[in-house]
Structure 1
């Protein structure tokens, strides 16, 4: 197979992961000094960098997945330790999600923040957030991962605090406390493990020397595992480390989408997958006896997050607790240690990202256009904002796991994996979670489509911006294209990746390739 990578000199291959990281970093450096009225230039820098990154990812997929290319760059960092950027299938999988959603979220944010203040600051930190996420994706060893993981904490704080209100500043401070605490745990775990086995490079089956450490010194190995997974569990919002996430929903809708779908939460769960598969390895983890406790913790988080979501009336908080639940599907899948379940867990990295970003895009639209922030305020919104409501419905049905959405594919894989594992009880966790998902999403869908607009409070009907009113229907409002197009795009992708799951290079097929590479 002739691929794009084969068309460039071999000596340039190591530069590819560096270019991927530098794209968004360069965008950030260029955006920060721009005056607020440089609307077109700021948008052009953002969109150009985002489009180029998506094109690079598309070009890399056949080479990395089909041809086995592993572009790598390394540079001295600490004595005896290098910073390593490497493109492997899992890295490309996560980076592909971040690149695609960065592009769509940028389009959304440009419309959402039109007329607001501090846009250069926002988009500068927004690009730095993506820089850290891509760096996490391509990290080839624990030290590199730690550097970008801590950078992600620092650059997301201003995004959470962007509005500058007392509530947003409080949420940002709480987020920072959680994230720094988790980062400290990861730092201690990385340093401790490095003292025992030397620099820790990610490797299929586990890093060199870690299996020997588990056999010879199981107690420190167990403590290191707990430190690493516990620290990463803060960003992954595993119970009981999830408290920062619902509070962070005071951030702008594009930030909420970024936090939940690709950046902070996904970085945490991606790190857990790396620690389990590429640092300790599943055999060493099984020998330590950590797989079943990790599975039980993930199962409890899934049910707990769903129960808490059911109790929320504010739309974004309901979605936040849904994230607490849904992201733990990834941990659930990899902790069952079979190809079917691991495939389901890994593919949910992408599937959940598409579905959740759709829901947050729609939540932002509802809030901006008709000032709807709670479930009750969405009554009759299907007539007022039909396209936004349709996109929300697709995302909601995907979260429940109904065919032919992406969520159905994830849950089918996890369910069949559970039946093939030593823990068939996990199937009932999936069933219970789906029922709870239905209990907190279907009432929203019902409110959108099946409540007569005449039953809606007149004040709610008039709450939208009068300039957006459509003359053909006094209840109808115009849905801003810059916000609507990203929402519809991710909703369509939620359907397409479900319908086309068997196609070559579909997320499911790449996830299966990753799982088979790890488990044989």
Structure 2
């Protein structure tokens, strides 16, 4: 019973924190102190659940049951606590970073920003610990609505345009695809519970696996699979801490988390591979990985380049889910964590460059690494992890994804598509990411003599946390590996 209350607190604490934060607009130091305290407390609760996970398996609670057998309910699970740990841990780093960024950039409505950030984190916790697909769907939508004001935070024309695209694509795809897919599942299986091995085998004809799974992939457009990806670059008009929320802490990770949950706990990997549905569906994330990487190469705006990098990297996770063997599922799950730490470091670095130099284009970064060595070293570390090189955590998730691809037992054509996609995309990662610090460190600036210093100390501390984790996770990925293993029994 005690652990059920702890589980409940993980969702309620950020809401309570948001209420308190909203009242502290006139005392910004206390406001930000409460934000950081709430983030630290939430992370501690999730650590407590992780430590006691053997007992926490029984933890759960029901909020309401609007239809008999269809409840809004939450329960502990190992994959959920993994997502919750990533989000709550990175909320700490983002809170510290935002203290420096929001003040140095003189952003307006800072109290609203911190309040809504906390509300969004509550939505993430609800998604992480959802006991069934119905609950996940509700809070998946809650996350879209709660983050919309953050995307439009600036209030200018670009922000409003980006916000419209954000809300229309995310909610439109949910209504057109996700909701019908969920209803079909309910009427077919008579349940929406997350069950190891899935609930559809024996209820759904294998010929319908492909169209139903395609509905889910298109409906969960937070995963960024093309063609429903345009909301993500459009949302880059938001302040950098919001970009970090979208790309690493909450929104996109809620998308790929949901895709993996649907594959493993609604369909079951054995049912998917037996139906051969994944042979065709693998082509969708494979195309997204390459296409988004090629588009990233063309983008001079740094945040846009990172946005298309995120679209590509998210499809690594979807690809792993579609390969649907044990190694690929572990790789997909681990990539949720490894990409989160590396990508948030990259966005923090981009924000530090903006707040210090007001430069946002790659073509403007000549020689800047000599004046901002900490920032560009952090960018380099994040890039190397995204690429998947040794001594950085991203190597392990890509190792398992590639191993899963090698063990793929479908058609030979798709087998080679997987291997070529993973190999070529890694090369493209090198070109569109490493070219940035290379330019900053080794290109001589044309006529710029202005003395530039590093970003505020709070920004540097916030950047250092995920960067250190990116390195640490190469040497000890055991926590995320062990939690990922629970997906495959």
TM-score range, shorter chain: over 0.9
CA contact under 8 A between 2:61 and 2:75: conserved in structure 1?
Answer: yes
CA distance in 2 between counterparts of 1:297 and 1:202 reads 25
CA distance in 2 between counterparts of 1:314 and 1:122 reads 24
TM-score by length of 1: 0.89
Aligned residue in 2 for 1:328: 315
Q: Are 1:508 and 2:484 matched, yes or no?
A: no
Aligned residue in 1 for 2:168: 177
Q: Are 1:499 and 2:475 matched, yes or no?
A: yes
What SS is found at the alignment partner of 1:55?
helix
CA distance in 2 between counterparts of 1:414 and 1:120 reads 41
Deviations 1:71-111 (A, max 9, x none): 21123231212111111111011111111111111111122
**1:64-75 pair list within 5 angstroms:** 64=53, 69-75=57-63
Q: Are 1:244 and 2:235 matched, yes or no?
A: no
Deviations 1:136-170 (A, max 9, x none): 11001011111101101111110000000100110
**1:376-415 pair list within 5 angstroms:** 376-415=363-402
Determine which of 257, 264, 273 is the counterpart of 1:277.
Answer: 264
Aligned residue in 2 for 1:23: 13
CA distance in 2 between counterparts of 1:230 and 1:157 reads 20
What SS is found at the alignment partner of 1:52?
helix
CA deviation after TM superposition for structure 1 residue 333, in Å: 1.3
CA contact under 8 A between 1:404 and 1:498: conserved in structure 2?
Answer: yes
CA distance in 1 between counterparts of 2:318 and 2:227 reads 15
What SS is found at the alignment partner of 1:510?
helix
TM-score by length of 2: 0.94
Determine which of 414, 436, 439 is the counterpart of 1:447.
Answer: 439
Aligned residue in 2 for 1:76: 64
Determine which of 151, 167, 182 is the counterpart of 2:158.
Answer: 167
Determine which of 79, 85, 93 is the counterpart of 2:74.
Answer: 85
Q: Are 1:212 and 2:202 matched, yes or no?
A: yes
Q: Are 1:38 and 2:30 matched, yes or no?
A: no
**1:119-518 pair list within 5 angstroms:** 119-184=110-175, 185-207=177-199, 210-215=200-205, 218-219=207-208, 222-232=210-220, 234-422=221-409, 424-425=415-416, 426-452=418-444, 455-458=445-448, 461-462=449-450, 475-501=451-477, 504-505=478-479, 507-511=480-484, 513-517=485-489
CA contact under 8 A between 2:15 and 2:122: conserved in structure 1?
Answer: yes
- How many residues align structurally? 480
Closer, same or farther in 2 for the Cα pair 1:12/1:67, shift >3 Å? closer
Mark the runs of 5 or more structure 1 residues left unpaired by the alignment.
1-10, 463-474
Closer, same or farther in 2 for the Cα pair 1:516/1:196, shift >3 Å? closer
CA contact under 8 A between 1:382 and 1:449: conserved in structure 2?
Answer: yes
Supply the RMSD in Å over aligned alpha carbons: 1.7
CA deviation after TM superposition for structure 1 residue 182, in Å: 1.8
Deviations 1:228-254 (A, max 9, x none): 22100x111101111111111110000
CA deviation after TM superposition for structure 1 residue 354, in Å: 0.4
CA deviation after TM superposition for structure 1 residue 28, in Å: 1.5
What SS is found at the alignment partner of 2:375?
helix
CA distance in 1 between counterparts of 2:56 and 2:7 reads 15
Aligned residue in 1 for 2:107: 116
CA distance in 2 between counterparts of 1:229 and 1:77 reads 27
CA contact under 8 A between 1:299 and 1:328: conserved in structure 2?
Answer: yes
CA distance in 1 between counterparts of 2:130 and 2:5 reads 14
CA deviation after TM superposition for structure 1 residue 315, in Å: 0.4
CA distance in 2 between counterparts of 1:182 and 1:451 reads 44
